[in-house]
């Protein structure tokens, strides 16, 4: 990236409500509905799902409008609602970065859950977290957030490089190695299997 | 960066206390003392400074221990204490990134102040901020944080690319175009001159 006076990008200020995750200005807001991500749930859970419509919002994203260009960083907040599809918790779709060699950092503003991660060479790692945890996703790790709370939204603030890109398709094809499922027989209400 | 199984970096979790800015694990903590940054204050203010010793801590930094390599992102919190050197508020040393084409993002966890910025081609911008503001420092902008509160620490959480590097020397030589000075005659207690 070379400096170019006519194109130089100017600093700005926005607002991020720590309690709600809402980003106030310069941000796009979009919702991910269940109907857009049925392929990531087990088919039997989708088939037996009588009480949730496809229009149910699984998560809401606030993302700053910025150039998707090398050198920029994208601030984004996600509100992942509590809920389940059968015994599977509401979760993000999950992705690798297209540009595999790029990291991402999450700060948990509210809630609890599990971050499932894996690499293309077969490694996997699952991290349980709660409010005020900082999660580091290094280069090469696909990542998915799972909200394990019965009642509370999971709200997290993330930063990723603007040229990272999102590869959802690889995860749709392979799935994650580990699942986080509802298990009322455990103290924490879930199992990682 | 190419994938290398033996060198792949593993995910981790840490804690970030939103109220204090303290990062709990995997973090280095270091203090910037007044004696290390006298060159950024006006000489007359330094000369007349009778009540602050050089050992006074101006700010404390918690920074994650991570490779300073392309692809990684560094999470860092800064606690910039309230105080003045003459009519100049306590502030960070201020720097360009060595790798000029890299951004930085700040989230204000507590406090208020002014972010002064400038480019090498002569542009400048100053942004007043307070708690829950999100500040975007695009590529090519030198940046310095100033705590304008009389009584409260300014606590902010930042992310920058691990290969950004810090060029303090250029700012030591040129200074910033605008200063933020204590001015009890104004409602907000400061002026930008």
DSSP A138-152: -TT-EEEEEE--SS-
Separation of alpha carbons B46 and B26, rounded Å: 36
pLDDT for B54? 74
Closest CA to A61 of A74, A51, A42: A74
Interchain pair B134, A16: CB under 8 A: yes
pLDDT for A179? 96
Does the pLDDT value for residue A5 go beyond 70? no
Q: In what order do the strands lie in the sheet with B180-182?
A: B84-85, B88-89, B180-182, B190-192
Higher-confidence position of B68 and A45: B68
pLDDT for A146? 98
Q: From the first residue on, what is the mean pLDDT of each consecutive set of 10 residues in chain B (193 residues)?
A: 64 96 87 90 79 84 93 97 94 97 98 98 97 98 98 98 97 95 95 97
Q: Which residues of A touch B133 (CB under 8 A)?
A: 13-16
Does the pLDDT value for residue A49 go beyond 90? no
Residue A86 neighbours by CB under 8 Å, 6+ apart? A41, A42, A44, A45, A46, A48, A49
Q: Which residues of B touch A10 (CB under 8 A)?
A: 125, 138
**Average of pLDDT values for A32-48?**
86
Q: Which residues of A touch B116 (CB under 8 A)?
A: none
**CA distances in angstroms from A25 to A13, A122, B19, B174, listed in the order given:** 8, 40, 24, 33
A122 interfacial to chain B (CB closer than 8 Å)? no
pLDDT per residue as tens digits for the range A12-31: 999 999 999 999 876 899 99
- Supply the pTM of this predicted model: 0.94
Strand-strand pairing, B104-110 and B180-182: unpaired
What helix, strand, coil percent values describe chain A, rounded to 5? 10, 45, 45
Q: Which of A30-44, A52-66, A170-184 has the highest mean pLDDT?
A: A170-184
Separation of alpha carbons B177 and B135, rounded Å: 19
Closest CA to A25 of A78, A66, A80: A66
Q: Which residues of A touch B164 (CB under 8 A)?
A: none
Closest CA to B118 of B166, B45, B184, B177: B177
% of chain A beyond a pLDDT of 70: 95
Closest chain B residue to the Cα of A159, Cα to Cα: B159
Distance of CA B166 to the CA centre of its chain: 11
Q: What is the ipTM of this complex?
A: 0.93
Q: Please, which residues 140-169 of chain B have a Cβ atom closer than 8 Å to chain A?
A: 140-141, 157, 159-161
Give, in words, the CATH class of A16-192. mainly beta
Does the pLDDT value for residue A150 go beyond 80? yes
B104 interfacial to chain A (CB closer than 8 Å)? yes
Closest CA to B39 of B93, B86, B78, B84: B93
End-to-end CA gap in chain B? 44
Q: Does domain B20-192 have CATH number 2.60.120.10?
A: yes
pLDDT for B155? 98
Does the pLDDT value for residue A4 go beyond 90? no
Average pLDDT of chain A is 92
Separation of alpha carbons A14 and B107, rounded Å: 9
CB A58 within 8 A of CB A80: yes
**Length, in residues, of chain A:** 193
Interchain pair A102, B129: CB under 8 A: no
């Amino acid at each position: 990236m070379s400096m170019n006076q006519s194109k130089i990008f100017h600093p700005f200020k926005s607002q991020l409500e720590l309690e709600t995750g809402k980003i106030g200005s310069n941000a796009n807001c979009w919702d991910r509905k269940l109907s857009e991500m049925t392929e990531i749930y087990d088919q039997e859970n989708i088939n037996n799902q009588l009480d949730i419509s496809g229009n149910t919002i699984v998560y809401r994203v606030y993302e700053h409008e910025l150039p998707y260009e090398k050198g920029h960083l994208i601030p984004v907040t996600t509100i992942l609602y509590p809920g389940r599809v059968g015994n599977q918790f509401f979760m993000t779709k999950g992705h690798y970065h297209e540009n595999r060699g790029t990291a991402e950092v999450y700060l948990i503003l509210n809630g609890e859950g599990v971050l499932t991660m894996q690499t293309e060479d077969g490694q996997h790692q699952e991290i349980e977290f709660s409010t005020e945890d900082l999660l580091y996703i290094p280069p090469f790790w696909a990542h998915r957030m799972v909200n394990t709370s019965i009642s509370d939204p999971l709200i997290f603030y993330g930063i990723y490089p603007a040229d990272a890109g999102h590869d959802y398709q690889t995860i749709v094809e392979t799935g994650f190695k580990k699942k986080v499922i509802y298990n009322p027989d455990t103290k924490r209400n879930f199992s990682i299997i």
